[in-house]
Amino acid sequence: MVNLAIEQYLDDMHSQQAAPEEILEWAWKTFAPAVAASSSFQTQSVPLLHMISRVCPELPVIFVDTGFHFPGTLAFRDMLQERLGLNIVVARPERTPDELAQEYGEDLFRHDPDLCCYLNKVKPLQQALEGMCAWVTGVRHDQTASRGQMRSLEPQLSGVVKIHPLLRWTREMLEEYRRRYALPAHPLHEFGYLSVGCAPCTHPVLKADDERAGRWAGTGKRECGLHLDLGSVKDVRGE
Ligand code: SF4
């Protein structure tokens, strides 16, 4: 469905410094109803969620409930849903944390975090995106070196096209947006959790640190796999 003309169009929008809201509007008009966003419902997710609520409130927002989230994340998600009127779709893995432990042993996140992320995040998201043509994310260039290489429109092997409206925004720009609209922060933000994922794999960091430095700290792992090509992840795991 996506061709070079669309890619060129989106790049043109960027070269003209299109606002994220314009990109969101374009994505909705171009792909609806076969488009969804995903969100981990942390502090830096809030501006994009607020933009969605203003521009395309019907856009499904997929939240992958791994079973390992902090209770504060689930409460924050529910509060944002009520305040912003979001169309949240919860995706869940096939196994509960107990079933996962029975099948793979205790603490899979410790002895095989890639498999844990695949079973609990990547696969449920793949399933939630089935039938979709486009997937809107909150990825930004300034988050990690690998994200710095991403393009605003990325066709995936799975056939879904990833769209990153905030790709060129910085952490400071997100903070400024939150201040302008008096939007809340994740309850763990004030305790140094600049990026919040599953509880066993998230640690607080210093303000000057890389935003994602507290994710899988000390393991060398930097991504859960959601932002690798979903088609290639599927091939690697052979499921
Ligand atoms: S972030 Fe940790 S607990 Fe969550 S799915 Fe990945 S390895 Fe498992």
Using the mean position of ligand 1's atoms as its centre, give its distance from the Cα of residue 197 in Å: 8
Alpha helices in the chain (DSSP H): 4-15, 20-31, 46-55, 71-84, 97-104, 108-111, 113-117, 123-128, 171-180, 230-237
Domains of the chain: 4-237 (3.40.50.620)
Q: Kindly state if the Cβ of 116 falls inside 6 Å of ligand 1.
A: yes
Phi and psi, residue 207, nearest 5°: -55, -35
198 a catalytic residue: no
More confident position, 239 or 151: 151
Assigned token pair, 161: 């096209």
Using the mean position of ligand 1's atoms as its centre, give its distance from the Cα of residue 109 in Å: 5
The rounded mean pLDDT for the chain is 86
Q: To the nearest whole percent, how much of the chain has pLDDT over 90?
A: 63
Please compute Rg for the chain using Cα positions: 17
**pLDDT band at residue 237, thresholds of 50, 70 and 90?**
very low
Which residue minimizes the CA distance to atom 5 of ligand 1?
Answer: 117
- What are the pLDDT digits (tens) for 180-230? 999 999 999 999 888 899 999 988 776 666 666 666 566 666 666 677 665
